């Protein structure tokens, strides 16, 4: 059974539902555009999550009050992702809406409901679709399934679906995130429903997979759950962060590594990033790149090198949320980069502090890993614990940091 190698880039978000159960709230506002905090819509959160996981083509499939979605999101960007909005002329169900845009679909794409949030590693979910499967659904064990239909799963394949029942037993529920092949869409009718028509049919053929996560899930379809979104989501966007020095930590320090061919991963480095992604950490790179100041390569080479790193990670279900680099040096040969004691150049903490302004980071549980004294000094100056990496096993070090109770004394350079 083989898996995909080419990273999935496209994410489709279904934002056309009427939201009738929310009553007056959605009479003038599309459900995904309801604000969970001042100026922050539920859809803003979903888009930010999709973009940070490295999907760079986001299509919003709008319907009810679609012009509002268009006004707010059309041709907007989020990180590296371009956003397109497509409004359906009349409701055609989830199947019909997809069928209408099949010319725009990539061979494999992520599909998400716009009115629920399942806080998983989307990139991890987007790898590992068996070649004989047409789709995969993200599932969650639920103690009381009275509100949801359930899914019967065996050996990673979905065998059948059950309607919701009043007695609400334990079961697996679909959480509105799907990885689908375009081939599935070719056979969809319009109108039709993916959940009611297409999925049961391909499940019978054994061509629908399920992946179980026990992560936070919220569907904003009811007044009570929408209230939960308002009270929980602004806080839940905040995550601990892992900061990595680059050369000698993630990749072998070959001396001013900058060509794609220079990239040689340190032992278990990609697995360490994936481990953190799976556990809901932001992951950042903070790297001094004095080679730019010394005229050995330019900033575009740094960015290109980071793009290659990111590509490798995406193929393995992992990602870096942002790369920060400092091209300045006091002895620069290139005049524009000659600045002594630049606030970004480690041991100064500028890059870490900038990440703190640009991302919702929980400082108390964040940390840095570096191989130089200057890395650990930068961490201390930013108020984070810094851990020295001896080059042996990066995953082992990450596990030692985040899996052990805080009372265990690790070799830590500084603490908050």
Tokens of 263: 């990239």
* 3-state DSSP assignment of residue 250: coil
Positions of E strands within 148-202 = 150-154, 157-162, 171-181
Closest distance to Mg ion from the beta carbon of 184 (Å): 45
Q: Which residues pair with 41 in a beta bridge?
A: 35
Sole binder of Mg ion in the list 49, 57, 88, 245 (CB under 5 A): 245
Angle at 207 between CA 202 and CA 208, to 5 degrees: 80
Q: Are 61 and 14 in contact (CB under 8 A)?
A: yes
Per-residue contact flags (x/-) with Mg ion for residues 318 to 357, judged by CB under 5 A: ----------------------------------------
Q: Are 45 and 36 in contact (CB under 8 A)?
A: yes
Q: For residues 258 and 246, what is the distance between their CA atoms, to the nearest angstrom?
A: 11
- Residues 273-312 close enough to bind Mg ion by CB under 5 A: none
Choose between 164 and 259: whose C-beta lies nearer to Mg ion.
259
Closest distance to Mg ion from the beta carbon of 374 (Å): 9
**Stretch of 17-25, 94-102, 170-178, 368-376 lying at the interface with Mg ion (CB under 5 A):** 368-376
- Does position 247 interact with Mg ion (CB under 5 A)? The reply is yes
Sole binder of Mg ion in the list 128, 248, 260, 360 (CB under 5 A): 248
Q: For residues 355 and 368, what is the distance between their CA atoms, to the nearest angstrom?
A: 13
Closest distance to Mg ion from the beta carbon of 246 (Å): 6
Catalytic residue of the set 57, 115, 219, 247: 247
**Stretch of 82-90, 245-253, 276-284, 406-414 lying at the interface with Mg ion (CB under 5 A):** 245-253
- Annotated catalytic, 132? no
Closest distance to Mg ion from the beta carbon of 25 (Å): 51
Q: For residues 136 and 202, what is the distance between their CA atoms, to the nearest angstrom?
A: 11
Positive/negative CA dihedral, 344, 349, 355, 356? negative
Choose between 248 and 383: whose C-beta lies nearer to Mg ion.
248
Choose between 88 and 245: whose C-beta lies nearer to Mg ion.
245
Choose between 57 and 247: whose C-beta lies nearer to Mg ion.
247
Q: For residues 276 and 316, what is the distance between their CA atoms, to the nearest angstrom?
A: 13
Q: Which residues contact 346 (CB under 8 A, 6 or more apart)?
A: 245, 286, 288, 326, 370, 372, 374, 375, 377, 378
Choose between 177 and 369: whose C-beta lies nearer to Mg ion.
369
CA distances from 310 to 146, 255, 263, 307, 323 (A): 41, 20, 11, 5, 10
- Does position 270 interact with Mg ion (CB under 5 A)? The reply is no
Choose between 343 and 391: whose C-beta lies nearer to Mg ion.
391
Closest distance to Mg ion from the beta carbon of 347 (Å): 12
Q: For residues 311 and 318, what is the distance between their CA atoms, to the nearest angstrom?
A: 9
Number of residues that bind Mg ion (CB under 5 A): 4
Q: How far does CA 98 lie from the centroid of its chain? A: 23
**Stretch of 19-27, 220-228, 237-245, 275-283 lying at the interface with Mg ion (CB under 5 A):** 237-245
Tokens of 286: 């903070």
Choose between 108 and 348: whose C-beta lies nearer to Mg ion.
348
Catalytic residue of the set 57, 115, 219, 245: 245
* 3-state DSSP assignment of residue 277: helix
Closest distance to Mg ion from the beta carbon of 294 (Å): 16
**Stretch of 26-34, 149-157, 238-246, 337-345 lying at the interface with Mg ion (CB under 5 A):** 238-246
Closest distance to Mg ion from the beta carbon of 286 (Å): 10
Q: Are 394 and 275 in contact (CB under 8 A)?
A: no
Q: For residues 273 and 313, what is the distance between their CA atoms, to the nearest angstrom?
A: 8
- Annotated catalytic, 298? no
Sole binder of Mg ion in the list 49, 57, 270, 371 (CB under 5 A): 371
Residue ranges in contact with Mg ion by CB under 5 A: 245, 247-248, 371
Please give the positions annotated as active site.
245, 247
């Amino acid at each position: 059974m083989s898996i995909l190698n080419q990273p999935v880039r496209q994410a489709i978000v279904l934002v056309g539902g009427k939201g009738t159960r929310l009553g007056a709230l959605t009479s003038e506002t599309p459900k995904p555009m309801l604000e969970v905090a001042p100026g922050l819509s539920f859809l803003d959160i979903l888009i930010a999550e999709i973009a940070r996981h490295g999907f760079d083509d986001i299509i919003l499939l709008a319907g009810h009050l679609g012009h509002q979605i268009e006004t707010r999101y059309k041709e907007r960007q989020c990180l590296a992702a371009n956003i397109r909005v497509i409004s359906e002329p009349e409701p055609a169900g989830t199947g019909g809406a997809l069928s209408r845009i099949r010319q725009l679909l990539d061979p494999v794409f992520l599909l998400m409901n716009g009115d629920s949030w399942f806080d998983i590693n989307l990139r991890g979910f987007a790898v590992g679709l068996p070649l004989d499967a047409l789709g995969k659904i993200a599932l969650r064990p639920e103690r009381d399934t009275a509100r949801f239909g359930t899914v019967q799963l065996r050996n990673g394949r979905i065998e059948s679906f059950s309607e919701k029942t009043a007695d609400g037993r334990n079961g697996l529920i679909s959480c509105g995130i799907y990885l689908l092949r375009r081939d599935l869409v070719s056979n969809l009718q319009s109108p039709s429903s993916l959940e009611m028509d297409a999925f049961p049919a391909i499940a019978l053929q054994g061509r629908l997979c399920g992946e179980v996560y026990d992560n936070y899930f919220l569907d904003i379809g009811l007044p009570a759950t929408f209230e939960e979104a308002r009270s929980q989501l602004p806080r839940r966007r905040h995550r601990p962060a892992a900061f990595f020095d680059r050369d000698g930590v993630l990749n072998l320090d070959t001396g001013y590594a900058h060509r794609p061919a220079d990239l040689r991963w340190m032992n278990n480095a990609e697995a360490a990033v994936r481990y953190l992604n799976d556990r809901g950490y932001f992951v950042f790179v903070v790297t001094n790149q004095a080679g730019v100041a010394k005229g050995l390569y330019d900033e575009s080479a740094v960015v290109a090198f980071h793009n290659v790193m990111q590509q490798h990670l995406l193929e393995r279900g992992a990602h870096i949320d942002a790369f920060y680099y400092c091209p300045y040096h006091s002895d620069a040969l290139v005049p524009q980069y000659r600045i002594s004691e630049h606030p970004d150049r480690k041991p100064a903490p500028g890059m870490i502090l900038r990440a703190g302004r640009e991302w919702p980071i929980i400082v108390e549980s964040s940390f840095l890993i570096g191989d130089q004294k200057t890395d650990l000094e930068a961490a201390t100056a930013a108020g984070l614990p810094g851990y020295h990496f001896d080059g042996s096993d990066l995953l082992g070090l990450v596990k030692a940091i985040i899996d052990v109770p805080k009372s265990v004394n690790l070799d830590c350079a500084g603490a908050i």
